Amino acid sequence: MADKGTPVSPPVVAPLDRATLRDHPLPMPSGEVDKNSRGRVTVIGGCLEVPGGVRLTAEAALRSGAGKVRIATVAPIAHMIGTLFPEAAITALPASASGEIAASASEISPLVGKCDAIVVGPAMSCRHHASRLVDTLLDSITLDHRVVIDAAALMSLSQHADRLKKRTRPALLTPHPGEIAAMLDIDGADLASDAVSIAMLAARRFNAVVVLKGSCTTIANPSGAIYGFNGGTTGLATSGSGDVLAGIAGGLLARGCEPLDAALWAVWLHGEAGRRCAETIAPLGFLASDLLPLIPGLMHSAGQS
């Protein structure tokens, strides 16, 4: 991996705990507050194969304190999603023959002006359609727009590395091990042997805050700061769990968080919600949707809601 710029020595990992969160407080609403001033999130994702995942992401954004959410998804399922989740505004996007988003700049650009943060990629299943969507999105947003890139949108991210490096505000990336291996074109054995250095490599290559999900989740900042969270549970390894994490991060970004702060809080809230579900339901078998109602109370208990 020498040609990929592997760090010579592993960075020092700080623990992600309540003390760390106190050093990274969330912005709080003040003065005359309405739903727009609390932050607007647009979630762009979904496909015919996985129609409901974007609903998890959108609800997580609201549960983390954002005031408004818009779901932009393929037209054949848009009405269904709107009925299922009446709190969200809905934009129907063109679909490919395979049921993936096939939107042009004319459909994506209007969404940018209606939000403070964008989450792109959740519940998409085709890396090629997702990569084209990322390309279109990067053409449409400013270099300091708050953006989370998730799931299939990460799989071909190497094609967009040069553009991400130019961003004045880093993107927030939420890969699992398979996705970061694809992002960096590395073997899974490299990741298993040194996940911390791999996360930092990705953060620097893409000029992004990287949340590398796993039994110990690693959060790497391109400036060199790196954190580890060991508070998750096996039960979080379930369908839709990553969609919830991405939505929490998007909601916090929309509230005005910088990417590192949003990543730290999203990982902690997600992991702590999983721990509560493991205690009150069972270590295995709780659903990603079970995490959602716990998010506001966890923020409140940490003095941040």
184: tokens are: 């960096």
The band of 2, judged by pLDDT with boundaries at 50, 70 and 90, is very low
Could you tell me which of 113, 258, 110 has the C-alpha nearest to residue 171? 258
Cα distance between residue 167 and residue 146, in whole Å? 10
Contacts 24+ apart (CB under 8 A), 180-189: 180/154, 180/210, 180/212, 182/127, 182/154, 182/155, 182/156, 182/157, 183/154, 183/155, 183/157, 183/158, 184/4, 184/158, 185/4, 185/158, 186/1, 186/4
Count of H-run helices and E-run strands, the chain: 13, 10
Which residue in this structure is represented by tokens 């399922």?
77
Q: In this structure, which amino acid lies at residue 139?
A: D
Is pLDDT of 189 > 60? yes
Per-residue pLDDT averaged across 132-156, rounded?
96
Q: How high is the pLDDT of residue 29?
A: 81
Could you tell me which of 259, 215, 253, 216 has the C-alpha nearest to residue 237? 215
The band of 187, judged by pLDDT with boundaries at 50, 70 and 90, is confident
Q: How many other C-beta atoms can be found within 10 angstroms of the C-beta atom of residue 302? A: 17
The three-class DSSP label of residue 66 is: coil
Q: How high is the pLDDT of residue 10?
A: 62
| Percentage of the chain exceeding pLDDT 70 | 96
Q: What is the DSSP letter of 154?
A: G
Per-residue pLDDT averaged across 202-210, rounded?
98
**Could you report the per-residue pLDDT of 285-301, keeping only the tens digit for each?**
999 999 999 999 999 99
Q: Is the pTM of this model over 0.85?
A: yes
The band of 1, judged by pLDDT with boundaries at 50, 70 and 90, is very low
Contact yes or no for 180/143 (Cβ under 8 A) = no
| Percentage of the chain exceeding pLDDT 90 | 88
Q: What is the DSSP letter of 27?
A: P
Could you tell me which of 296, 3, 234, 256 has the C-alpha nearest to residue 304? 296
Cα distance between residue 171 and residue 184, in whole Å? 16
Cα distance between residue 58 and residue 69, in whole Å? 6
Cα distance between residue 91 and residue 211, in whole Å? 28
Q: How high is the pLDDT of residue 232?
A: 87
Is pLDDT of 108 > 70? yes
Is pLDDT of 236 > 50? yes
Cα distance between residue 118 and residue 122, in whole Å? 11
